[in-house]
């Protein structure tokens, strides 16, 4: 079945435009309640990021869940991974997050976690979509769900995050700049690092409903780089709007992306005998990560782009470390989903264990230059099947001789072919990417 509403990370769009409207979100809450109500606890947790539209959508979800006979437990602004964690600890039927992650404030979305704190499998999302085709019918008045707010959700999650850092270690003497992007981690991350002993400089911790991800956070790290250099900090950490991804900066201002974070965490796990299997990245993971792990004897596998697909492959292989170069890092020995704060603490653990600064920890991996060219094509056409395109790709792969990669894929949201080439020489891969793009253009 084709999906009508769910993308790779829930339902998302511009607020006020279908489907991110109060009436649709209310029915979505009702449909999800009908499908997910299996354990008998009849409780669903709802968290949100700091967008102004979160108030409206929270009320709509509450009404829909109540109509389905479920109790809504409202937590207010909470990181996405916190909702995943607390869904398990509350033994809830499901967790719901109102967030559009790294998008601007005028977008929003709804994403779901199962009772186990994992993203919903495809078949469950399709079941919710099928329920949306039915008429909304309320349960009897005596069976309507209630809504309650919990006040200690933040404290519970702060303690969980701290528990993922070794109890015999602390962060005394480490100066960290923490940028929360005016998002859901604004009242969580500073407390975690400060209570572990770090000297803290904070940014992006004053949300007003409109400034989430605006010039700060993991998708706009320039401000973090400048602050790390200005304050002579040991490192910086930036989170996105809902706290499930991060970017780090070393003392020199060098940006450390998700691939390098995966390398640091995996190497530390290997050194300490905690590595189970290998590492899962995505089709977009830099080849430098693959070769660096190969040097260490650590297996590496690529999943489709999207943290849900990374998690699926991790579970299939029984591996515990995976993620995306965008900064979604999943540490299954610690939690069930991508968690920016937990991932940062694993890197800090590696720093403490190795007694090395962040700059030296990441030096074992060299990223290959990677060039991405977007080529627009006419609807109904498929340039990827054109013989000239396939021949050019084969020619480029032969020239790279195993020291680079070519990846062509269609955008999931617009008629674009994304041509990606990576290799050891930036000028070479730039020329190669353009050669393939030219063949894609000429194919139609």
101 appears as a binding residue in the annotation: yes
Q: Residue written as tokens 């694993």? A: 346
Strand order in the sheet with 416-422: 370-376, 416-422, 405-410
Cβ-contact 175, 201 below 8 angstroms: yes
Q: How many CA atoms lie within 13 A of 356 on its CB side?
A: 13
Exactly one of 99, 101, 114, 326 is catalytic; which is it?
A: 101
Active site residue 101: yes
240 assigned binding-site residue: yes
| Spatial separation of the C-alpha atoms in residues 431 and 444, rounded to whole Å | 21
């782009």: which residue's tokens? Answer: 305
CB 392 within 8 A of CB 435: yes
DSSP structure string for 202-252: EES----SS-TTSS-STT-THHHHHHHHHHT-SEEEEE-TTSSBEEEEETT
268 is in an annotated binding site: no
Q: Which of 175, 188, 182, 231 is nearest to 348 (CA)?
A: 175
**Is residue 259 annotated as involved in ligand binding?**
no
Radius of gyration of the chain (CA): 22
What residue numbers does the annotated binding site for Mg(2+) cover? 101, 240, 242, 244
Specify binding-site residues: 101, 240, 242, 244
Write out the catalytic residue numbers: 101
């Amino acid at each position: 079945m084709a999906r009508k509403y769910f993308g790779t990370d829930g339902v998302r769009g511009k607020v006020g435009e279908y489907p991110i409207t109060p009436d649709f979100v209310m029915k979505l809450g009702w449909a999800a309640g009908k499908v997910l109500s299996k354990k008998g606890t009849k409780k669903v947790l709802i968290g949100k990021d700091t967008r102004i539209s979160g108030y409206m959508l929270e009320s709509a979800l509450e009404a829909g869940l109540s109509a389905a006979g479920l109790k809504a437990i409202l937590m207010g602004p909470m990181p996405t991974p916190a909702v995943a964690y607390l869904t398990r600890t509350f033994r809830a039927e499901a967790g719901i997050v109102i967030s559009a992650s790294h998008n601007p404030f005028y977008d929003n979305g709804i994403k779901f976690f199962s009772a186990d704190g994992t993203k919903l499998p495809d078949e469950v999302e399709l079941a919710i979509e099928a329920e949306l085709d039915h008429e909304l019918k309320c349960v009897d008045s005596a069976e309507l769900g209630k809504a309650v707010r919990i006040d200690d959700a933040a404290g519970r999650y702060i303690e969980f995050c701290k528990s993922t850092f070794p109890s015999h270690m602390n962060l005394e003497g480490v100066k960290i700049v923490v940028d929360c992007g005016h998002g859901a981690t604004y009242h969580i991350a500073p407390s975690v690092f400060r209570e572990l002993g770090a000297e803290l400089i904070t940014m992006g911790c004053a949300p007003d409903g409109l400034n989430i991800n605006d010039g700060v956070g993991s998708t706009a790290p320039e401000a973090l780089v400048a602050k790390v250099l200005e304050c002579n900090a040991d490192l910086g950490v930036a989170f996105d709007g809902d706290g499930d991804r991060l970017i780090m900066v070393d003392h020199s201002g060098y940006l450390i992306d998700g691939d390098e974070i995966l390398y640091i965490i995996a190497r530390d796990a290997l050194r300490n005998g905690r590595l189970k299997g290998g590492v899962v990245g995505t089709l977009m993971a830099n080849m430098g990560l693959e070769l660096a792990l190969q040097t260490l004897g650590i297996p590496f596998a690529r999943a489709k782009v999207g943290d849900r697909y990374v998690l699926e492959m991790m579970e299939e292989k029984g591996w515990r470390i995976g993620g995306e170069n965008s900064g979604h890092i999943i540490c299954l020995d610690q939690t069930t989903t991508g968690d920016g704060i937990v991932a940062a603490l694993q890197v800090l653990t590696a720093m403490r264990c190795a007694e090395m600064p962040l700059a030296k920890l990441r030096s074992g991996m060299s990223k290959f230059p990677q060039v991405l060219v977007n080529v627009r094509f006419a609807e109904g056409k498929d340039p990827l099947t054109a013989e000239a395109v396939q021949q050019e790709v084969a020619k480029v792969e032969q020239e790279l001789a195993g020291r680079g990669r070519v990846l062509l894929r269609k955008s999931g949201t617009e008629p674009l072919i994304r041509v990606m080439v990576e290799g050891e020489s930036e000028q070479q891969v730039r020329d190669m990417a353009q050669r393939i793009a030219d063949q894609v253009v000429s194919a139609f």
